[in-house]
Each structure stands twice: as C-alpha cells, then as structure tokens.
Amino acid sequence: MYDLCVVGAGMIGSSAARHATVTSGLSTCLIGPSEPKGKRSAQNFEIYGSYFDEGRITRCLDKDFVWSSLAQESIKRYRDIERQSGITFYHEVGNLMIGGKTYLSKTDDVASRNAIPTEFIDNTSLQHRFPYLRFTNNTHGSFEKQNAGHINPRKIVQAQKVIAAEQGCTIIDDVVNHVTRIVQSDGTYAMQVKTEEGRTVLCKKVLLATGAFTTFKNLMPYMKPEQKLSPISVSLLEVDTSSLETLRDMPCVIYYGSANADWEIPSSQMRENEVSFYLLPPIKYPDGRYYIKLGLFNAVTATMTSLGDVKQWFDNGDTKYAEKVTKFTESLFKGVNFNSWYRDSCVITETPTERPYIDMLHAQLGVAIGGNGYAAKSSDEIGRLAADMINGQWNSKLPRELFKLRTLSKYDESTFTSLLGKL
C-alpha cells in the first residue's frame, strides 16, 4: 500500500509527486497517461494535458497578488529543477505587459507589493525598442526582464517526473477511472484507485490533480466542484527563417488595451474597442520550425459539460476561427515574414474564486485543480502546497482559506459513513 497516490501526471501532479517524495519521505505513486505519439495513437485518446505544447508564458508580474506570489515561488526553483533533472525548460527572455493606465495600475500595485523589478516603457519607447510590433498611441508598457519569459511545459513535466522517480516515486502510465474510500478487514479506511487497464492501487491518501477532466471519471464520489470549462483557440504561426534575426530579442507579450486600426481583429473578440491577448516569441517546435503563438482572451464563449465536448474540442477545435486569429497575429507585426500556420486547442478550468482549489475533501482525499489559465507558470508551487497539505502541513504566506474548494453538492464524513453502512 502506498502512502500517497497522485492522480493526474500533468504539470501540477508531477510537481506534487516530486515534492511529496523529497519533503516527506512518503511512498508515492503518480498515475496519468503520457501524451499520445502520432495521430493514430491519439484516435482513442480521451484525457488531454495542458502541457501538450512547447511554450507557456512565465512571469511574476500579475494583476492579482496571489497568482503573482505563486509564480514567484515557482520561478525561483526552475533552475534547481533543471540542474537536478538535466532537462532545460526555462527561457528567461522577459515579459512585456502592455495596456492602458487602468490595467497597468493594478500590475504596478502588485509589483510594488511583491518587490518585482520592472521597467516602465512609454509609448514612444515601445515603438523604438520593439519596431516589429504595431502598437496604439495611448498604451505604455511594464517590462519584467528577470524571472520572466517562457517555459516548455512538456519538458518541465518530464523534469518533474525524472526527479520524482529518482526519489522513489512509482510512475504508472494509465488513466484512473475510479477513486473510492473503502473499509479494510481491520476496520480502517483506505483509498482504492482503479485504472482503465485494470490496475487496482491501494493507498492511504489520494491527491487529484486532474484539471479539466476531474468530473468526467468517478474520482470525487458524491461531490462536484464548482467550476466552468472554457475552450480557448490558439494560433501558431510559422516565422520564416529570414525574420528570425529580427525577432531575436522578442519577449513574451500580454496585452490589455485599445485596438489598433491596423489590427485584423475577429468581430466576436471586440469589447468596446478593447482587446486582450497573449503572444509568445518564436519557439522551436518538434518539426524543427519556429512558431509564434497567440491566444485571444475571452474569444470563445461556449462552455463544456461532458467528456465528449472536451475531446471534440481538442481533436477538432474551430479551424475557421483559428484562421481569423492567425490573420490577427500577422497584423500585429511589421516587416516580419510568415509561412504556414496551424491551430491548437486548450480548455481552461475556471473557478468562481479565480484561484486554484488546493483543499481536502476528507482526511484521505485532496485536490489541486482549477488553473484558471494561470497555473502553468505556478505549477511547481501549487504542487508543493498540495503535497504539504495532504501531509497535514501548510507552509506559505498565503492563507489556506484562499484555495478552499467550492462544490455544487455537499459531502461530509457522516454521509460517507452512512453510505458504507448500506453496502
């Protein structure tokens, strides 16, 4: 019997497994499916990871103090994880927040509170320092040069797993479809985990790090988290080799502000002439080409309620809309040559608190879910908090109450006991 089973082997789950094995000496297993290789192997695939990609923005600067704090704690450990695993995933190219005064006043407040070094860049300087981007005339920027840039989510997951395995964690490539609390012959409670391939794992405690797929398998008996699954359409645009040198020093960009008349913005995206998006510099993908990635915030308004909905989105997405996003991406640049493009799909788990859920359902079952689109950069700290929590600790300046789980159905120990009596 394991002391702890972490269900979900993505960015948060792999981090939690690493921290559990290094800080507490627990016998730990990590269960989750690997990314499918090739289209044929993906045909029957149902459980997707947010880490199936090469680039995620990482930064300390944020409009929210909590997310900023989680990111700071994670980023300070990136280099140690790289050294210990031998896997490079962090590229410190900086991050540029651009927008109007209202938005940047919020990020400036957080920068001051968390002692984040930033550089103010007025509109004239923006156009001088980044001549390949089209800006509006009423925006300015806040540039975070240190402790910011992008990470490779595939490689950080790989790095976390390598270290966890070296520290004694058993890693199982499988999908968990059932988690329940059982009474053993000696009258004590244990957690039983069953997988699609017929494995049964017994453990003292379970941590669910299952993201958007938490409610699609029988993982939280008699309880459903309060959350919304929102689809995101992403466009990846290949940069011609002739333009790579032009973009050599390009940072990541996050934009909240007014639209430029030269931008080809999808009509469904406009909010009173306001637009918001994130943009990554050229990143080398497995096909050997360099792609710029852009995602529009609040671009797709549909919500998802079933596993079929999510699978359909990941498999097929919205090609027509992605093409519009691609044209918008092209219109942001001046003097840059592009070639092919392709779409990617993502699903964000949004919580009403706009914070992750890091909480215990009962004494033997915990959750670390609800990334809200911000969790990639902060995954190591979320995993650490979850690993400490399930071991009865909370070591953070952030109050535990901030991460309390909200549910649509009530569950308590007496409910569980009464149900057991009927079995």
Q: How far is CA 217 from CA 208, 306, 332, 375, 394, in A?
A: 11, 10, 42, 22, 28
Q: What is the mean pLDDT of residues 304-313?
A: 85
* Higher-pLDDT residue of 37, 78: 78
pLDDT digits 0-9 by tens, 38-92: 654 455 677 777 788 999 999 999 999 999 999 999 999 999 999 999 999 999 9
In terms of Cβ atoms closer than 10 Å to its own Cβ (0-12, 13-18, 19+), residue 134 is middle
Q: What is the mean pLDDT of the chain?
A: 90
Model pLDDT, residue 138: 82
Q: Which amino acid is at 128?
A: H
- Mark which of 310, 328, 350 sits at the end of a domain: 350
- Mark which of 329, 350, 371 sits at the end of a domain: 350
Structural domain span for residue 388: 2-50+155-225+353-421
Q: What is the mean pLDDT of residues 323-336?
A: 92
CA–CA separation, 99 and 344 (whole Å)? 26
Whether 252 has a pLDDT exceeding 60, the answer reads yes
**Do both 255 and 295 map to the same domain?**
yes
Q: Kindly state whether residue 190 falls inside one of the protein's structural domains.
A: yes
Other Cβ atoms within 10 Å of 204 Cβ, number? 18
> What is the pairing mode between strands 170-172 and 28-31?
parallel
**Do both 124 and 262 map to the same domain?**
yes
CA–CA separation, 416 and 419 (whole Å)? 5
Model pLDDT, residue 51: 80
**Do both 128 and 216 map to the same domain?**
no
Lowest mean pLDDT among 50-54, 149-153, 238-242, 391-395: 50-54
**Do both 137 and 279 map to the same domain?**
yes
CA–CA separation, 162 and 171 (whole Å)? 10
Other Cβ atoms within 10 Å of 276 Cβ, number? 17
Cβ distance 68 to 62 under 8 Å? yes
Model pLDDT, residue 418: 46
Model pLDDT, residue 192: 97
Whether 229 has a pLDDT exceeding 70, the answer reads yes
pLDDT digits 0-9 by tens, 182-194: 999 898 999 999 9
**Do both 235 and 331 map to the same domain?**
yes
**DSSP per residue over 173-212, as a string?**
-S-EEEEEEEE-TTS-EEEEEEETTS-EEEEEEEEE--GG
Cβ distance 356 to 371 under 8 Å? yes
Model pLDDT, residue 272: 58
Q: Single out the residue of 366, 371, 21, 51 nearest to residue 162, CA to CA.
A: 21
**Do both 299 and 390 map to the same domain?**
no
Domain count, the chain: 2
**Do both 366 and 397 map to the same domain?**
yes
Dihedral over Cα of 49, 51, 56, 58: its sign: positive
**Do both 20 and 167 map to the same domain?**
yes
Other Cβ atoms within 10 Å of 361 Cβ, number? 21
Lowest mean pLDDT among 25-39, 58-72, 227-241, 292-306: 292-306
* Higher-pLDDT residue of 384, 137: 384
- Mark which of 322, 350, 378 sits at the end of a domain: 350
**Do both 268 and 369 map to the same domain?**
no
Model pLDDT, residue 135: 86
**Do both 360 and 314 map to the same domain?**
no
Lowest mean pLDDT among 26-30, 108-112, 260-264, 384-388: 260-264
Model pLDDT, residue 93: 97
